[in-house]
Amino acid sequence: MPRPILATVHPDALRHNLQRTRDSAPDARVWAVVKANAYGHGIERTFDALRSADGFALLDLAEAERIRALDWRGPVLLLEGVFEPRDLELCSRLHLWHTVHCSEQIDWLAAHKTQLPHRVFLKLNSGMNRLGFSPTAFRAAWARLNALPQVEEISLMTHFSDADGPRGIAHQVAAFEAATADLPGERTLCNSAALLRFGRQPLRVGPGAPATETLSADWVRSGIATYGSAPDHPRRTAADWGLQPAMTLSSRLIAVQQLQAGDTVGYGSTFTAQGPQRIGVVACGYADGYPRHAPTGTPVLVAGVRTRVVGRVSMDMITVDLAPLDALGVACGVGSEVVLWGVSASGAVLPVDEVAAAAGTISYELLCAVAPRVPFQSSP
């Protein structure tokens, strides 16, 4: 028997979430962002559920090759463009569209020999100060690209720094509009947070409801929402946005300990029992990608019942409080199902966003960090 830890990918949830992002931008085409091996879900494993997307966006050239190997003939966009001149040969051969964010990338294109001119996405640095041409350099970059025989079509792109937070996107939208005002070409601006919060069908309830003006664009870039996590957690939950978990990380209890008052648990004895209580030992640790910094209190489901991690996360095990189950009279013991995040057999849901928040990180990091030793399956 292998260790009972297992990651299950839910294709129906991926399909549902992709449609949900489409509903937010009914006039735009949708890039399914599948960088980082589809946010840890697996490019090959998610491909079928995501193939109704209009294109796949990623940043690793090897991942672009994997998408083409799946016989995807539609658009593929390299979100960071090429890293060295010879990468352009692969772009020509596999018809990859690529971001151009710095003058070196234009130099490389100008020296590139190709039969087929490329489609490029010229990136504006509208305030994030990571990638892109500054507003003052943008037009010159566009003109340079426009003069190159290697370039067939130029689209315009920017990325938001605060789409999920209180600062919002208005200042960057204004910078983008000013810098691109009379330039032709398709536009792409939105990540998941901007799409959900400022798209066509934003959530219309609760405090801080999004502005009613909608953001128009030709392409939107849907990442984390596709995988069923709320980009603006804890302001909103995945359920608020109508998103469903696309991954369940589950395992089982492999031991149970009966503690007495004063007994401690795990490395560093960071948890002390106040009275008699049962503790479950779960086959899941930081070597599986579970966050080592998840403190006592981090939520977990045992036999579909919500309880908490107690004591320190170790390499191969975590320890969980069974008192809530015992109080409810829910039977559990060695072999009982444990859900670290996702959906239990009973249908109970533990959003990855809540586990991430407890551990001081975001869902993106947890989903991407599921370790290679964890076996994956797809739910039927």
Contact positions vs ligand PLP (CB under 6 A) = 33, 35, 79, 159, 191-193, 221-225, 231
Residue of minimal Cβ distance to ligand PLP:
223
* Closest distance to ligand PLP from the beta carbon of 31 (Å): 8
* Closest distance to ligand PLP from the beta carbon of 37 (Å): 13
**Distance between CA atoms of residues 351 and 227, nearest Å:** 11
Nearer to ligand PLP, 223 or 228 (CB): 223
* Closest distance to ligand PLP from the beta carbon of 368 (Å): 11
CA nearest neighbour of 245 among 379, 375, 47: 379
> What distances in angstroms separate CA 62 from CA 35, 254, 289, one per listed residue?
11, 38, 23
Nearer to ligand PLP, 24 or 192 (CB): 192
Handedness of CA 305, 311, 312, 317 (dihedral sign): negative
Residue with token string 């579909």: 304
* Closest distance to ligand PLP from the beta carbon of 112 (Å): 23
Whether 290 sits among the annotated catalytic residues: the reply is: no
At 34, phi and psi to the nearest 5? Answer: -120, 30
CB contact set of 223 (below 8 Å; sequence gap of 6+): 33, 35, 39, 191, 192
Nearer to ligand PLP, 22 or 221 (CB): 221
Whether 123 sits among the annotated catalytic residues: the reply is: no
* CA atoms within a 13 Å half-sphere pointing along the CA-CB vector of 302: 33
Nearer to ligand PLP, 224 or 356 (CB): 224
Say if CB 125 and CB 103 are below 8 A apart. Answer: no
Nearer to ligand PLP, 256 or 368 (CB): 368
Q: Decide the pairing of beta strands 299-302 and 277-282.
A: unpaired
Reading the block at residue 70, the tokens are 């799946």
Say if CB 82 and CB 100 are below 8 A apart. Answer: no
* Closest distance to ligand PLP from the beta carbon of 155 (Å): 13
**Distance between CA atoms of residues 73 and 157, nearest Å:** 22
* CA atoms within a 13 Å half-sphere pointing along the CA-CB vector of 159: 18
Q: So which residues are the catalytic ones? A: 35, 267
